Chain A
């Protein structure tokens, strides 16, 4: 029962470095999402993919890119990391439909120095 798996769990980067956060789900869900969580601000949507082959910007997309590699995998890339991108990143997936319950991964804690 893996659900939504995120890698890595922790990462420290220097300003200007790049990295890719990986996310995979084994629930055959159509939709996948990337959020960031900052203290006192709740989760904010970065990008989402309603179905394989499509991606759309969320509330805070600047500085990020995404790839929906296949139905299972949705990656988030930071091309040139900035200290403002220090955050906890969560990936989620959902099957769609009237309820569209989202299931979350355990998160990636990223620090940019």
Chain B
């Protein structure tokens, strides 16, 4: 059974600081890994998807890396802004299904 862990559970940084969010998973036999954003009381929005054959994926200020052999992914958010405050979840696809981590709740202080 795939287990996905995100540490820390919460993070608070001043505006402008770079964010580093970690995700680890137990079974390296994956198709892809996704990072999602969830705002309070809202659904999930997909930010980045990394295929198992890729090492990283970039979108604007966001960069996600994947080390499948060690079961780790990292989401970097450059020059954080108060609008980046949200919960970030990673999810690993092993077949049809996604296995989610519990998320890291980020607060960016103005």
List residues of A whose CB falls within 8 A of some B CB: 4, 31, 33, 35, 40-45, 48, 50, 58, 90, 92, 98-107
Please measure, in the bound complex, the distance between the C-alpha atom of A31 and the C-alpha atom of B4, giving whole angstroms.
Answer: 23
Q: Which of A40, A48, A90, A104 has the most CB of B within 10 A?
A: A104
Chain B, residue nearest A88 (CB) = B41
Q: Are B97 and A58 in contact (CB under 8 A)?
A: yes
> What are 25 A-B pairs with beta-carbon distances under 8 A?
A33-B97, A35-B100, A40-B9, A42-B89, A42-B101, A43-B89, A43-B91, A43-B100, A45-B97, A45-B98, A48-B97, A58-B97, A92-B44, A99-B32, A99-B51, A100-B32, A102-B34, A102-B98, A103-B46, A104-B43, A104-B44, A104-B45, A105-B43, A106-B42, A106-B43
- Tell me if A101 and B42 are in contact (CB < 8 A): no
Residue from A4, A33, A45, A100 with most neighbouring chain B CB atoms (10 Å) = A100
Taking A31-B96, A42-B103, A102-B34 as given, write out 10 further A-B residue pairs in contact, using a Cβ cutoff of 8 Å, ordered by the A residue number. A43-B89, A44-B100, A50-B96, A90-B44, A100-B31, A100-B96, A101-B49, A102-B46, A102-B98, A106-B43
B residues near A (Cβ < 8 Å) are 4, 9, 31-32, 34, 41-46, 49, 51, 89, 91, 93, 96-98, 100-103
**Cα distance, A56 to B68, chains bound together (Å):** 28
List the 7 shortest-distance A-B pairs measured between CB atoms, nearest first: A42-B100, A104-B43, A42-B102, A43-B100, A104-B44, A106-B43, A42-B101
Cα separation A90 to B91 with both chains bound (whole Å): 15
Distance, CA A10 to CA B91, complexed state (A): 26
For residue A104, which residues in chain B have a CB less than 8 angstroms away from its CB?
A: 43-45
- Which residue of chain A has its CB nearest to the CB of B101? A42
In contact, A101 and B9 (Cβ under 8 angstroms) = no
